[in-house]
Amino acid sequence: ETLSGEGPFTVFAPTDEAFGMLRDGAVEALLEPEAKKQLTQILTCHVVGADAMANAIKGMIDDDGGMHVVPTLGGCELQATYSGDKIMLEDERGRTINVTIADVKQSNGVIHVVDRVILPPKP
């Protein structure tokens, strides 16, 4: 639903392999009807309400002294840094998420492919 709006949005999209790194049974459990709220939060923790290409993200990181806080539509705060051409995010659990493919332009924003699922803080 969130992404059906006109945007702009930036989506940090995990690969199938990223979902495969979750603990056994996690994906199946999230697809159960009683987990809808948790699934929605996890998915919207991958979405930012702005169109941010990689160079813009790097500029914000530089402007903020080497680390930029990225608030997501799911209420998560990601810490963005970069090294060379690679942008890295840290979620609120202290896990590092790497952008593996940047700047996949869409009609309502941009997608950056990431190598891990972003998780909200533990309740």
* pLDDT tens digit sequence for 50-91: 999 999 999 999 999 999 999 999 999 999 999 998 999 999
What is the spatial distance between Cα 93 and Cα 89, in angstroms, rounded to a whole number?
A: 11
| CA distances from residue 5 to 8, 52, 107 in whole angstroms, order as listed | 8, 17, 11
Architecture of the domain whose range is 2-114? Roll (2.30)
Residue 34 clears pLDDT 90, i.e. is over it = no
Looking at 1-123, list the stretches that DSSP marks H as alpha helix, in order from N- to C-terminal side.
16-20, 26-30, 36-44, 54-63
What is the spatial distance between Cα 118 and Cα 3, in angstroms, rounded to a whole number?
A: 17
Record the pTM. Answer: 0.87
What is the pLDDT, as a whole number, of residue 37?
84
Mean pLDDT confidence for 78-107: 96
Residue 14 clears pLDDT 90, i.e. is over it = yes
CB atoms within 10 A of CB 72: 21
